[in-house]
Structure 1
């Protein structure tokens, strides 16, 4: 492969990866009706052991008092709240806003219907949940 072909390949690969990153970022925004009702869905990881199901919800910049709903209904986990835009002060000029903000709500179908939240911790920008099996 010539140096020119290699350079073209590398640029093409970089553009494909940037397009993929842009698509992934947009998937977190789910418009729901009018502008006042828009919300986003945080990404989650779900792990299972014999005793429990562990859920990690990515919530950068969300404090525990900003969580408005955290419950299990049947086989569904519901996490909801709001992330405010963390401007350093009122006079700051916004140049880029990529981290989702505003209301969020995530419904996750769980692998079992008999689970109860036995522990939760909000740290390092993530909500860590432990759901014990009955």
Structure 2
């Protein structure tokens, strides 16, 4: 019995198709890990900035500066463009809220993807 068609070279074509699919999946996983890293770093910077601003001898400007420094040194300066600090009175104490609005990295570490909003809070006890 003779084969129906010539399958010569089909292994090369299959290898190229499978390799392309595997590379695409691997790059997607790397990019997802990078997005999660950026998100977690921004959350940590906002929380750290809020705690720094809640110290007795610090102000809202200090919280913003600390958050900006942490983001710039950890990631890219483009992620530190949308930092806002607010304080709210809670009885005798104050709540320091640091929020960061930026864009998630779509390709690489450039802030060029979709919007991301993270916040960090701390209480200043008087």
Q: Report if TM-score (shorter chain) is over 0.5.
A: no
Q: Structure 2-normalised TM-score?
A: 0.31
Please report the TM-score for the alignment, with normalisation by the length of structure 1: 0.30
Q: Flag the structure with larger Rg.
A: 2
